[in-house]
């Protein structure tokens, strides 16, 4: 076998890449490549969960980071699959489109020599001339929107060729084109849009600039001056709890009441922000995606100075809002202090502490106390949800060297720390909202692509391409009419359509009692 030269190898590679089999394989590969994005915590979606996973899996973390599994959709290998799929689809669609337009202009093919060999056929004789029969056939098939062509055969003989269902292939092309449209829309959002998140305590507000975001993921070509200059305040937060039945204790129908301005000094407006009911300001969408509790905690150091005070965001860990949180007081004297533990909105104890209900009916915080160097000056973790314990020591109960001090506090409680470290008080509890803010310029393009996909799929599934031929010729002083059809779609049945056409061309007529009709064997049975 001769070896391929460079040009032949490039041509072979292009044919393989632009084959429909390769396109389907790449589409499957893209779906599989997206699976790690659902399984592995993504840093741009939930930085806390990603950091906790990394701390829990120190051996796997370097491998996952090298593979880009913490940011799958921005990884080079995901982009490579995406690009190859785009090239493959374009390479599939363009040649098929040329073939389709050529077929659209083509005339229906001539009738086969022996129509009676086709699975579905009818024959009958009539005293009408072949010309009259063919004229009636053209009229009947024309009403049924068939594309027609008249063919003259030997003397005294002719046939009508009819075909319809050309739009089936158009449906296939539209479906494949829609995938490109969806991908283009997604690419527009990734390049020119952004997505950010912020946790806002009820009663506080947000101004749309980069310093206000907890996390911000811009598109590759996004520019910060494109941000809308809006601001909003979370005035109140209403929530409905499910008290009875299955799922009791879970939150439902929660609403965040906003007051917002679209520009500095603009008129104030109000909006009830709910899940799946975003507030749109210009090109920016504001979503309510979560909520939780923020215990108000005050830490006073050994000198009696307030080292930390205010609501602290605790992140829910289950459906009953058992929440985890960290409090840091790096300026406390004589040692920096930190708290780490859980909040139980409705505290219960049964083989361990837990929350029996999501509503804060009987809240309790249970936290361990640490003292020492928080590592903030040495490049340690700066996340407000992560506590770097490498330079910290747990504070022990007074008079014990082995029992760590655990603070179990209800609102209004204050505990004095041993060794003159200060005091900790639980002053109350507030709520917070997780707000997602994004610009997705390609969302309408992607929506249009999905609509095209449905339209193309309907066309490719329900449009039946089929051909019908009618031949009329003089035999023994009468006109023999042969009608046959071919359904080109899988599972199609053209028998009813042929029977209807035969009944139209050869109605029961007392003036022609000699006329007869012969059906296919399966119809006779």
Low-confidence ranges of the chain (pLDDT < 70): 1-2, 45-48, 245-249, 376-382, 490-492, 508-525
Instruction: Give pLDDT, residue 246.
Output: 62
- The Cα-based distances of 79 to 64, 464, 499 in angstroms read 17, 38, 55
- The Cα-based distances of 448 to 73, 185, 400, 436, 452 in angstroms read 22, 9, 68, 24, 6
Quick one: the chain helix, strand, coil %, rounded to 5?
A: 35, 35, 30
Q: Does 503 sit behind a cis peptide bond, omega within 30 degrees of 0 on the bond before it?
A: no
Cα–chain center distance at 519: 53
**Per residue in 405-442, pLDDT tens?**
999 999 999 999 998 999 999 999 999 999 999 998 98
Domains of the chain: 6-104 (no CATH), 108-165+464-524 (3.30.160.110), 175-289+435-456 (no CATH), 292-431 (no CATH)
**Per residue in 95-145, pLDDT tens?**
888 888 887 778 888 988 899 898 889 999 998 988 999 999 999 999 988
- Answer yes or no: pTM beyond 0.75: no
* Own/partner long-range contacts of 217-222 (Cβ < 8 Å, ≥24 apart): 217/44, 218/194, 219/189, 219/190, 219/191, 219/192, 219/193, 219/194, 220/190, 220/191, 221/191, 221/192, 222/191, 222/192, 222/193, 222/194, 222/439
> How many other β-carbons are positioned within 10 Å of the β-carbon of residue 402?
6
Instruction: Give pLDDT, residue 344.
Output: 95
Instruction: Give pLDDT, residue 176.
Output: 83
The span from the CA of 243 to the CA of 237, in Å, is 19
Instruction: Give pLDDT, residue 340.
Output: 94
Instruction: Give pLDDT, residue 2.
Output: 60
Instruction: Give pLDDT, residue 71.
Output: 85
Residues 6 or more apart from 121 whose CB is under 8 A from it? 115, 482, 483, 484, 485, 498, 520
Residues 6 or more apart from 9 whose CB is under 8 A from it? none
Residues 6 or more apart from 431 whose CB is under 8 A from it? 201, 202, 237, 291, 292, 293, 294
Instruction: Give pLDDT, residue 48.
Output: 62
Q: What is the DSSP string of 185-213?
A: HHHHHHHH-EEEEEEEETT-EEESSGGG-
């Amino acid at each position: 076998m001769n070896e391929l030269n460079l040009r032949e190898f490039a041509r072979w590679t292009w044919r393989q890449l632009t084959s429909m089999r390769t396109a389907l394989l790449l589409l499957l590969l893209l779906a599989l490549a997206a699976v790690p994005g659902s399984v592995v915590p993504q840093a741009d979606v939930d930085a806390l969960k990603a950091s906790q996973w990394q701390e829990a899996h120190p051996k796997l973390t370097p491998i996952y980071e090298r593979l880009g599994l913490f940011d799958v959709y921005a990884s080079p290998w995901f982009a490579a699959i995406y690009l190859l799929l785009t090239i493959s689809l374009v390479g599939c669609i363009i040649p098929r489109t040329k073939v389709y337009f050529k077929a659209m202009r083509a005339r229906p093919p001539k009738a086969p020599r022996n129509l009676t060999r086709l699975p579905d056929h009818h024959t009958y004789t009539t005293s009408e001339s072949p010309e009259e029969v063919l004229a009636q056939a053209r009229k009947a098939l024309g009403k049924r929107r068939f594309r027609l062509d008249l063919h003259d055969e030997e003397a005294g003989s002719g046939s009508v060729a009819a075909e319809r269902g050309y739009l089936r292939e158009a449906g296939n092309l539209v479906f494949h084109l829609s995938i490109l449209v969806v991908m283009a829309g997604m690419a527009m959002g990734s390049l020119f849009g952004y997505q950010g998140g912020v946790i806002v305590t009820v009663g506080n507000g947000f101004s749309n600039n980069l310093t206000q975001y907890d996390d911000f993921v811009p598109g590759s070509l996004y520019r910060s001056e494109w941000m809308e200059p809006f601001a909003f305040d979370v005035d109140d937060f209403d929530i409905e709890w499910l008290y009875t039945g299955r799922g009791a204790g879970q939150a439902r129908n929660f609403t965040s009441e906003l007051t917002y301005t679209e520009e500095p000094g603009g008129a104030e407006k109000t909006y009830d922000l709910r899940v799946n009911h975003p507030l749109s300001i210009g090109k920016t969408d504001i979503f309510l995606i979560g909520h939780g509790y923020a215990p108000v905690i005050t830490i006073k150091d050994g000198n009696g100075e307030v080292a930390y005070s205010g609501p602290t965001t605790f992140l829910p860990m289950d459906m009953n809002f058992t929440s985890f949180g960290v409090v840091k007081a790096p300026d406390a004297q004589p040692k920096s202090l930190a708290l780490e533990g859980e909040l139980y909105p409705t505290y219960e104890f049964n083989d361990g502490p837990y929350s029996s209900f999501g509503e804060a009916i009987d809240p309790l915080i249970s936290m361990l106390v640490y003292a020492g160097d928080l590592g903030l000056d040495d490049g340690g973790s700066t996340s407000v949800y992560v506590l770097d314990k490498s330079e910290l020591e747990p504070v022990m109960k007074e008079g014990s060297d082995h029992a760590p001090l655990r603070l179990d506090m209800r609102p209004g409680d204050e505990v004095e720390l041993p060794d003159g470290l200060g005091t900790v008080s639980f002053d109350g509890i507030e709520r917070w909202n997780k707000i997602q803010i994004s610009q997705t310029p390609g969302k309408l393009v992607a929506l249009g692509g999905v609509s095209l996909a449905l339209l193309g799929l309907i066309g490719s599934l329900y449009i039946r391409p089929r051909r019908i031929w009618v031949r009329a010729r003089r035999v023994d002083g009468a006109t023999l009419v042969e009608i046959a059809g071919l359904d080109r779609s899988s599972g199609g049945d053209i028998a009813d359509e042929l029977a209807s056409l035969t009944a139209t061309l050869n109605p029961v007529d007392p003036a022609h009692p000699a006329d007869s009709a012969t059906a296919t064997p399966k119809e006779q049975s």
